[in-house]
Amino acid sequence: MESAEDSAVVLLPTYQPGGHLPELADGIRAARAGTAVVVVDDGSDPAAAPMLTAVAGLGCTVLRHPVNRGKGAALKTGFRHIAAAYPGRDVVCADADGQHSVADVLRVADRTRDAGRAVLGVRRFAHMPLRSRIGNTATRLLFRAATGRRVGDTQTGLRGFPGELLGWLGSVPGEGFDYEMNVLLYASRRGLPFDEITIATTYLDDNASSHFDPVGDAARIYWRLLRFAVSSRAPARVR
């Protein structure tokens, strides 16, 4: 049986968290005793203090940005902390807004450990809100055109990474939601493999709690994809 010292660290970036944050953290620690959970608060206002206090009371590490810097910045803060505090441990990143189940977080952790490579939790498109489905379809097609690789869900927030990749993850550019696309693009350029597993996703109020800007954030993601396609010298090869 895997010990707590060897298990993946769960990283939860959050901004203006609600009650789903302590619920998820508590569920993870209850399902797999001793699992380390690191929460990075990306500059939430004082109203978030009770939720952050609650997760700290559960034994989670809580790191805080004094101002909102973006999801990519929050992830990289978490990666740096985990690399220093839990050297060599795998990391599973999950959204803290109720989208991801405890079971799927642990499934991604287990696959990352067993495969020794990055793992993406792929959502079922039929269950996505329309705006998410359209955006993800567009980015999947552009990603394939730019890299020659098929990815089932380019915008998933549930991802597992082997511990050896943390230093590299900190070097990938991007501070906002574009960072997660950059990770896939730079991984493709380096030839890094990744697995995919299908996950269930719960959308509350048509994903109203999401802080993704469908105009500004989407534009930055498409710009990254186009720049990558133009700068890539190797011809795309469809797999």
148 Rama class: left (phi>0) / alpha (psi -120 to 50) / beta: left
Which residues of the chain have a pLDDT value below 50? 1, 206-209, 233-239
Domain holding 99: CATH number? 3.90.550.10
pLDDT of residue 206: 47
Q: Residue 3 domain-assigned?
A: no
Q: Is residue 203 part of a domain?
A: yes
Does some domain include residue 186? yes
In terms of residue numbers, what domain contains 118? 9-231
Specify the number of domains making up the chain.
1
The answer to whether residue 238 is domain-embedded is: no
User: What one-character DSSP code corresponds to residue 103?
Assistant: H
pLDDT of 221: 74
Say which residues have a Cβ less than 8 Å from residue 154's Cβ, sequence separation at least 6.
136, 139, 140, 143, 181, 184
84's enclosing H/E stretch is: helix 71-85
Q: What is the pLDDT of residues 176-205, one digit of tens each?
A: 988 999 999 999 989 999 999 999 877 555
What pLDDT was estimated at residue 138?
79
Let me know if residue 149 belongs to a domain.
yes
Q: β-strands 159-161, 118-123: how paired?
A: antiparallel
Per-residue pLDDT tens digits for 84-113? 999 999 999 999 988 899 999 999 999 999
User: For residue 239, is it within any domain?
Assistant: no
DSSP state for residue 19 in the 8-state scheme: T
Instruction: Give the pLDDT of residue 179.
Output: 94
Cβ atoms 209, 48 nearer than 8 A: no
Within a domain: 237: no
0.95 surpassed by pTM: no
Query: Which residues, including other chains, have CB under 8 Å from residue 102's CB and lie 6 or more apart?
Result: 24, 27, 28, 31
What pLDDT is recorded for position 229? 63
**DSSP three-state, residue 8:** coil
CA dist 23 and 96 (Å) reads 9
Residue 2 counted as domain residue: no
